A and B are shown apart, each in its own frame.
Chain A
C-alpha cells in the first residue's frame, strides 16, 4: 500500500510537468508557423559603403560627389492618402462595372492620360499586415514588417531600423511632414518641420485633412525643404465610419481632387527653368487599400491593392518602353489607351533613395522600379562623356546602362543584407535558400563583369549591347525577385503544417489532462456523478457549459474585444446558479448575494478598463461617457480616490495581522506574513508621499520614489527565498494537513501580494480586497453541498463549477485591473516603479508581474483555499488528492480556452483584424497559459512538498 501510494503520488507529480512540456512544445511549433518574426538589424548604409560593391569600376570611381547613385530629382512631394483603394484612382473602365466612388480623382486620370511619359498611375501592391503603422514602416524601410519585429523599440513605435527618412536626414536633405501624427511617432526627431495632427479619433474626418491643407500650399512655395510628406486621413476615417459607398467618402475624394488640382497647378507654375520645382517629383499614394466596409489589416486583394500616381515636372527625353513589365492597358473614358503599371510597395524606398541619390536603406529588399525610375528625366543624363562618341547608340541604351548600374548596387545591397541577416538573427534563412540566392547573385555578377568589359572595349558597334544589357537587367531582376519571394515566404506567409502540428499537440495535451483527472477520480473511487444527487452532475454540466461557451466565444472578433464583459457575464451566471443553490439549501444566502454584488462591482470596473481600450485602439464606444464623467468629477472625488486605497491597504494589513495572531502559525510563516505587513505599510507611505510630495523638494522625491519600491521588491524576494527555504527544510509535522496548507497558502499569497499591489497602483488594494472577498465567497459557496452531505463521503471530486468560477474570477480580475489583450494594454508605467533606467529582463519581469499578478499568480497560489477550507474532518492525503485535482481542472480550463484561441487564429489568419486583435490575444493567452502551467507546477511542488515524507509514516 505504501509503495503504491508512493508510486502514485510520484506519477501524479509529474503530470503538471508533462503538461507544461507539451504546452511549450505545442506553442513553440504553432508560433513558428503563425507569428512571423523578423530581427531588426542595427546597421545603417553609408555613402562610403558603395566602394565595396563591385559596381564601381576603378575607372569610374572618380565621381566623389555622388553617393550610391546620381541624384535625379531635387525635390520630392509625397502626398499620402490613407486607405486609397486602387479603384479610387484607376479609371472605371478597368473594372467590371462603374461604382459611384470611381473616377473621382479626375485630375490624376487626366494627367496620366495626357502625359503618359512623365505622369503615370501605378497599382501599388502592399504586403500584409495592411495597417497604417506597419505600412509606413514597410514603405520607409523597404522591408516587410512582421507582427513581431524583434528589435530595440520596446514600447515605443519609433523606427530604429535604417530607413528612407533616416537616409535623407543623414545626407543633408530637409524633410517636412504634415498630417497623421503616426509619422512623428515613427520618426520622433527626423523632421525639420512637422505639423502633426492626432489620428486616433476615427470619427473626426476633417481635422487632419484641414491641417494638411492649411500647411501644404504655403509650404510648397518655400525653398527650405527637399522632401515634403503630407498624410491625409479623411478617406481612411470615412471608410471606417461610413464605408466606401457613402456620400462622405465621395465628398472626401472630390475634396482631394480639388486639392490635388491646386497642388499640381502650383508645381507646374514653378517648374520652368530656374523655378523652385524645376526638378520635382510628385507622388500621390495610398499606404494600403480598404474593403467596402472600410476595414483593413488583412491580406485580401481589396486591402492590399492601393495606388500610386507619380508625376515628374520635367519632360523626359524618352519614354521607357514597357519591356520590363507587363502593364494592363484599357480604354479610358475618352476612348484613349490608358496603361497602368504595377509596383510593389517594397520597391518604394529603394526607388526613391535611388532617385534622390542617397544610400539605400540597409534592410531594404526591394528593387529599383524601372517605370518609376524611368519616369524621371534626369536618370537619362549620364555623366559618361564617353558615350557621346557613340552617336548611333540609342538613348534607350544609355538609360538601360544606367539602370543596370543602379540594379547592380541594388543587388549588392540586398545580398549584403541577406548575408548579414542570416548571420546575426536567431531564426535566419535556411541554408539551401541562401545557397540558391548566392548562386543567382554570382551568376548575375559574373555576367555583369563580362558585359562591363565589352562596354569598355567597344567603341563603335553599339548595337550589340542592347540585348546584353537586357539580359543583365533580367538577371538582376531575377535575383531581386527571388530574394523578395524568399523574404515574403519567411515573413508574410503562415506555415500551415507547423500550425497544424502545434494544434495537434495541444489537443493531445488536453486529452492527457482529461485522462489524468479521470484517473485520479477513478483511483479514489470518486467521480462527478457518484453522489447520486443531481446537484454535482449539474455542477459539472454547468461548468462544462460555461467553459465551452467562453471558449467558443473566441471564434468571433467581437467577443474577443468584449472578453471582459463576456467573462463577467458568465461569472454572474454561475453566481446566480450558486445563489439558486443557496436558496435551495437555505444557507449562505449572504455569501451568494455578496458574490453577485461583487460581480456587479467587477463589471463596472471592467467597463472602465474597456473604455480605456476604446480610447486607445480606435474602437470608440458610446457607453464610456458615464465613467469618464464620474472620473473627472468633483475635487472631493479625487481625495476619496486617494484615501480609500490607503484605508483598504491598512485593512488588508490588519487582516494579515489577525491571521498571524489567531492561527497557531509559527516560525517561517509568521516572519513571511510580518514581512508583508511591513511591505504594506511601506506601500502606504510610498503612495502618501507621492501624492503629497509634489509641493516638497524634488530631490527627496527621486530618492524616496525609487527607494521604497526597491525595498519592497527586496522584501518580496526575501519572503520567497524564505518560503523556499521553509519548503526545503522545515517539516512541520505538528499541524494537521489542512491547517498547514492554509498557512502555507497565506504565506505564499502574502509574499506575492505586496509586489503585485505596488505595481497595480492605487487600484491594487481594492482589487486585492475584491479578490479576497470573491475567493472567500466561492470557497464558502462550494461548501453548500458538502455540509449538506454531513461529510459522508470524504473523498469526493472537487466541484468543477467552483474551479470554473475561480478561473472566471481570475479572468475578470485581469480586466478589472485595466488590462486587455493588446500590447497597448500593457501598463508600461508599472515596469518603471522603483527604477529609472531600462534593463530589459528586470523591466520585463516587473511588467509580467503587473500584467498577470491578479489574474494568474494570486489565483493559482490561492487555489489551495478552495480545497483546504472545505472539509471539517479530512485526512491529509485526501486533501492533497483533491488539491491536485483542482489544479488539474484549473489547468484544463485554461488550456481549453487557449486551444480554442489557437483554432481561432488559424481560422482567422487572413482576417482583417488578425494583427490588430487575434494575434495579440493569442500572444497574451499563450504567455498566460505557460505562466499558469509553470505556476501550477511550482504550487503543487510547494504544497506537496511534505507528502512523501509524511504519508508513509501515517
Chain B
C-alpha cells in the first residue's frame, strides 16, 4: 500500500516536473532574451551602456518567475506549503548572491566602490540562476544540496532542471571571464558584462539541455510503462 502510494506520488512528481519543465522553458528561457529586448527598446538600456540597471531588470523579471515556477516543484509537499517554498527561495536570494559575489572576488572580480552596484546586481542574477531554485525546492535539506552541487548526481527530472542550469550558468560565467584581460579595448570586456553574457548563455544552453533530458526521460518511462 505504502509503496504503491510512494510510487504514485513519485510518478505524480515526475509528471508535475514535466509540466513545470515546459512552463520553465517558456517562463525562463524566453524572458531572458525578452528582457534584454525590452530593456533595449523600451528603456533604451543594454548591458553595455547600463550594466547594473540591465542586470537588475533581469533579476526583477526573473525573480518572480523562478520563485513561482520552482515553488511548484517543492519537495516534501506535506510539510511545506507553496508560500513557504517561495519564502525560502526569497531567503536564498541574498545568501546565494553573497556566495556568488565572494566566489567572483576570489576569482579576481574587481573590488571597489565603483564596481559595487555591478557586482551586487550580477551576483543577484547569478543567485537566481544557481542558488534560488535549489533553495525553493529543497529548503535546508543538506543531503539534496550535497547531491546537486557536490556530487552532481541528479536523480529525477526535478534534480535535472535545478542542477544543469546552475552548473551551466557557473561554467558559462567562468568561460565568460576569459576575454576580460585581452587588450581589444572593447566596452563589453568590462566587468561584469562578458561574465554576465557567459552566464546567460551557459544558463540557457543548460536549460534547453535539461529540458531535452527530461523529455527523453519522460519518453523512456512512457515506453517502459506501456
- List residues of chain A with CB under 8 Å of any chain B CB: 556-559, 561-562, 565-566, 568-569, 572-573, 575-576, 580-581, 583-584, 586, 596-597, 599-600, 603-604, 623, 626
Contact = CB atoms under 8 A, between A and B. Distances in A.
Nearest to B110: A623
Interface string B98-111: 00001101111011
Interface stretch (B15-23, B75-83, B176-184): B176-184
B151 interface: yes
A623 B113 CA distance: 11
B152 to A, nearest CB: 8
Given A580-B150, A583-B146, A626 B107 contact: no
Nearest to B170: A576
Given A584-B146, A584-B150, A626 B111 contact: yes
B197 interface: no
26 contacts: A558-B182, A558-B183, A561-B183, A562-B181, A566-B181, A568-B107, A569-B107, A569-B177, A572-B106, A572-B107, A572-B108, A573-B174, A575-B106, A580-B149, A580-B150, A581-B150, A583-B146, A583-B149, A583-B150, A584-B151, A586-B146, A596-B106, A599-B106, A600-B102, A603-B108, A623-B110
A108 B108 CA distance: 52
Nearest to B104: A572
A565 B182 contact: no
A575 B103 CA distance: 10
A581 B152 CA distance: 11
Given A558-B182, A558-B183, A568 B149 contact: no
A561 B181 contact: yes
Interface string B157-187: 0000000000000000010010001110000
Given A561-B183, A568-B107, A584-B151, 10 more contacts: A556-B182, A569-B177, A573-B174, A580-B149, A584-B146, A599-B106, A600-B102, A603-B106, A623-B110, A626-B111
Query: Can you list the 9 inter-chain pairs with the closest CB atoms, starting with the nearest?
Result: A584-B150, A562-B181, A583-B150, A600-B106, A558-B183, A558-B182, A572-B107, A572-B106, A626-B112
Contacts of B112: 623, 626
B56 to A, nearest CB: 23
Interface residues of B, number: 18
Nearest to B179: A558
Contacts of B174: 573
A445 B149 CA distance: 85
A190 to B, nearest CB: 37
A600 B105 contact: yes
Contacts of B146: 583-584, 586
Nearest to A582: B150
A872 B112 CA distance: 46
Contacts of A580: 149-150
B177 to A, nearest CB: 7
Contacts of A572: 106-108
Contacts of A575: 106
A575 B150 CA distance: 14
A572 B106 CA distance: 6
A559 B181 contact: yes
Contacts of A600: 102, 105-106
Contacts of B103: 576
A245 to B, nearest CB: 15
Contact of A565 (B102, B111, B181): B181
A926 to B, nearest CB: 23
A565 B150 contact: no
B181 A573 contact: no
Which of B110, B151, B181 gathers most chain A CB within 10 Å?
A: B181
A561 B180 CA distance: 12
A576 B174 CA distance: 12
Which of B107, B110, B150, B182 gathers most chain A CB within 10 Å?
A: B107
A825 to B, nearest CB: 18
B108 A568 contact: yes
A565 B106 CA distance: 11
A603 B106 CA distance: 7
B107 A573 contact: yes
A566 B181 CA distance: 9
Interface string B34-56: 00000000000000000000000
Contact of A557 (B107, B151, B183): B183
Contacts of A576: 103, 106
Nearest to B146: A583
A556 B102 CA distance: 28
A596 B177 CA distance: 18
Contacts of B108: 565, 568-569, 572, 603
A586 B151 CA distance: 11
A581 B151 CA distance: 8
Nearest to A602: B106
Nearest to B107: A572
Contacts of A558: 181-183
A556 B110 CA distance: 22
Contacts of B151: 584
A672 to B, nearest CB: 37
Which of B108, B110, B151, B182 gathers most chain A CB within 10 Å?
A: B108
A629 B102 CA distance: 23
A682 B182 CA distance: 46
Contacts of A565: 108, 181
A569 B174 CA distance: 10
A568 B104 CA distance: 12
Nearest to A560: B181
B222 to A, nearest CB: 31
Contacts of B182: 556, 558-559
Interface in B69-121: 102-103, 105-108, 110-112
Contacts of A566: 181
B193 to A, nearest CB: 15
A565 B110 CA distance: 11
A523 B149 CA distance: 37
A568 B109 CA distance: 11
A288 to B, nearest CB: 20
A291 to B, nearest CB: 14
A516 to B, nearest CB: 33
A576 B149 CA distance: 12
A50 B173 CA distance: 71
Nearest to A556: B182
A885 B182 CA distance: 36
Contacts of A568: 107-108
Nearest to A626: B112
B100 to A, nearest CB: 12
Nearest to B111: A626
A660 B105 CA distance: 39
A584 B183 CA distance: 39
A602 to B, nearest CB: 10
Interface in B132-164: 146, 149-151
Interface in B195-226: none
Nearest to A564: B108
A599 B103 CA distance: 11
A584 B108 CA distance: 25
Contacts of A556: 182
A580 B171 CA distance: 14
Nearest to A598: B106
B172 to A, nearest CB: 14
Contacts of B177: 569
A569 B177 CA distance: 10
A604 B112 CA distance: 12
Nearest to B184: A558
A54 B182 CA distance: 59
A604 B151 CA distance: 31
A600 B104 CA distance: 10
B141 to A, nearest CB: 14
Contacts of A562: 181
Interface in B49-67: none
A576 B102 CA distance: 12
A573 B177 CA distance: 12
B43 to A, nearest CB: 27
Contacts of A597: 106
